Chains A and B, each alone.
Chain A
């Protein structure tokens, strides 16, 4: 690809206060889901399921890295980082992050996200759908630790579970 039209930058999110003086930064969650699942549908039709999942994972990772860089303060302590992340995710209405295990010596984390944007309340479709969130978490962890992570959703609302559980492992 020689030239790009949609290369991401944080500035592309625009000046929301200026642009939406009356409606503000919030919108109905259905709109977010409408866009995501519409994208999924069309991309899957064009590229197949695996490629779609890969695209959503990579997009999530790109977003996670940008989110870390632009919204989180500089923190050195891992537990403080998790706590700040929890608070930020709640304050922005993204989800309720909880930590089940965090062994940074082994590079292993098990996290759950409840009331998330992507899938909480969706019908049971028999497979995990939070590939964007997988990438998002991987981007956050990589940004904080400087080490790449592989994140896999092991339980999802869409597989009949009541919370989304992610297992993150450092790639050594």
Chain B
């Protein structure tokens, strides 16, 4: 049996040890026990253990466990497991879904199930993303094809539009389109009282050229004349192929004398331009008629005004023909005169 004094000492030590386990702030070792090394060691170990457990409970796994033996070893194993688990979680976060935990009972099962699920979900998401990317790619291809088709259609429409208004051999406007443009210019001329002239010309002896050298050379002559017109007329002038070998030019805001000068320039250029036919060169001439006479326009339809206007140029053109060809004749009301 312990004496009363011994029982008091044991009780005091038990109280101290229990307080180390229980209290938030551990009690100090009283002075009378500090001289006992073994008790100092127990006290120091328990205090260190408290600190370590507190750190671990707050997620700090870096604190070294100061104890050896069963309790220290068990805590080190727990710490090692938690650290390894942390590393495994980092691996999972970096995309390694093969990580599995085998050492923490039910937690292992949950962790492994989570990683498996995560892996599966990510694979599905990746698959869906791949499918979406593929569909997106297909869609982009479809859009590109449609754009190509639209562009081709637009070009085709453009080509058709151009084809509808131009002469395919010379690239000049055709007669129908010329009429449309001419009506607009006549309207402007009448409204703003601006001069408006027309030049009409016809290649001399064109049938003979066709009969002698063939239609291919005839076509070359027509193209050559169209080129001369394109190069030498102003941007505001409206040239067109009017018929077989007949050409016409509408000259907005241009007096008849200015138009006659332009006609003369064209005539000379045509006369001086040679066409290569087989082994020799051929030259052609053209007869020109020029007019600015719109006549009485008050009660006339625009179509009639245009027809009359062109007719005046046509008359002067035939006056040039009758006068010996290769010349320019300017229309004067009532009579045809003034050959140049």
Contacts and interface: CB of A to CB of B under 8 A. Distances in A.
Interface in B80-127: 80-81, 83-84, 86-87, 91, 94, 96, 98, 103
Contact of A155 (B76, B87, B94, B98): B76
Interface in A112-147: 112, 114, 124
A93 to B, nearest CB: 15
A165 B74 CA distance: 13
Interface string B271-294: 000000000000000000000000
B76 A161 contact: yes
B70 A160 contact: yes
B338 interface: no
A165 B80 contact: yes
Interface stretch (A19-27, A36-44, A50-58, A99-107): A99-107
B69 interface: yes
Nearest to B80: A112
A79 B99 CA distance: 11
A101 to B, nearest CB: 7
Contact of B80 (A83, A100, A102): A100
Interface residues of A, number: 20
Contacts of A83: 96, 98
A42 B67 CA distance: 32
Residue among A83, A110, A155, A161 with most chain B CB within 10 A: A161
Residue among A100, A157, A159, A165 with most chain B CB within 10 A: A100
Interface string A139-172: 0000000000000000101011111010000000
B78 to A, nearest CB: 9
Which 9 pairs show the lowest CB-CB distances between chains A and B?
A160-B68, A162-B73, A100-B83, A98-B84, A162-B77, A160-B69, A161-B73, A112-B80, A99-B87
